[in-house]
Chain A
Amino acid sequence: MARKASRKRTEGLHEINMTPLIDVSLVLVIMLLLLTPLAFESSIAVRKGAASAKKSEKREKEERVELKIISEDKVIVNRKTVSLGKLSLTLRPLLADKVQRRVVIDCDDSVSHGTFVDVLDQAKLCGAGDIAVLGR
C-alpha cells in the first residue's frame, strides 16, 4: 500500500533540461553586448550644396538661414556672430517664421568635425528641415 503511494508521487516529476535555454540566453547576451554601440549610432542627413549656391536668387536667399562656423565656439548666423552656446537662442526665432526652414552651413577648415556636428544637431533641434552643406 505504502509502495503504491510512493510510486504515484514520483510519477509526475519531470526535470526540465535548462542547459539549451541557458546556452541560447548567454549567446543572446553576448551578441547584445557587442551590438549595443552600433545600435546607438545614428546619422543626420545633409544635402551637399554646390559652391554656386551662394549666388542663388534673392528670394531663396531670404528664405534660408546661413550659418558659418568660424571657430570652435563662434558661429555667424546671417552675418551676426554668436557664441556656440547661444546658437539655439538666435536660430530658433529665425527658423520659426520660415516656411521651408532651410539652413545652409559653411564651416572653416580648421574647425573640428565634432563642432560641425554640434551645429548640425542644434540646427535640427531648432527645427531646421533641410540642411545643406556648402562646398567650395
Chain B
Amino acid sequence: MKRFNKYDLPQTARLNLTPIIDVALVLVIILLITAPMLSVADIDVKLPTAQTRGAEDEGRISITLGETGELAVNEDLVSPDKLREILRMLLAKEQNKNKLVVVRADQKVPYELIRVILREAREAGANRLAIATMQSDKGNS
C-alpha cells in the first residue's frame, strides 16, 4: 500500500493582492494631492534663487519660459504670438477669474522677454502676477 505523502497534494499558489492594492491606493491619493503642483510644462528651467517667499497659491496658471526660448502655459507648449489669446481663454473661465499667474523663467533669459510676458498677461486680464523663484538655502523668511 502506498503511503500518504503531503507532497502528492496539488499545490495551489495564491497571489497576495494586498500589497499591490496598498501601493496603488497610496499612489492615487498622492497623485490627487499633487496634481495641481505638477501642472507645469516639462521644460528644463533653472529658476533664479531668492530668500523671500510669498504668493503661495495652490491653483495657479504658470507660464514657463526656457533658456532657449520655449514657451508653455501650464503643461502645453505655445507660440509667443498666441500667448495672450490662450491666457485670455484660460482667465475667462469662471474658476480661473482671480487665479495667480506665475512666470517661471530661466535665470539666464533676458528681461526683455519677461517684460513681454508680463505685458501679455496683464492685457489678457491677469489681476495677480508673480515671478517664480527657487528657495535658496540662506532663506530666513
* Interface, chain A (partner B; CB < 8 A): 19-20, 23-24, 27-28, 31, 35, 38, 40-48, 69, 107-118, 120-121, 124-125, 133, 135-136
Contact = CB atoms under 8 A, between A and B. Distances in A.
Contact of B50 (A48, A108, A117): A117
A38 B37 contact: yes
Contacts, number: 139
B110 A43 contact: no
Contact of B115 (A112, A115, A136): A136
A41 B130 contact: no
B119 to A, nearest CB: 6
A42 B108 contact: no
A114 B107 contact: yes
Interface of B: 16, 18-19, 22-23, 26-27, 30, 34, 37-38, 40, 47-56, 100, 102, 104-115, 118-119, 121-122, 128-135, 141
Contact of A125 (B22, B135, B141): B141
Given A110-B110, A117-B107, A45 B115 contact: no
A69 B110 CA distance: 12
Contact of A31 (B22, B30, B109, B119): B30
Nearest to B141: A125
A113 B106 contact: yes
B116 to A, nearest CB: 10
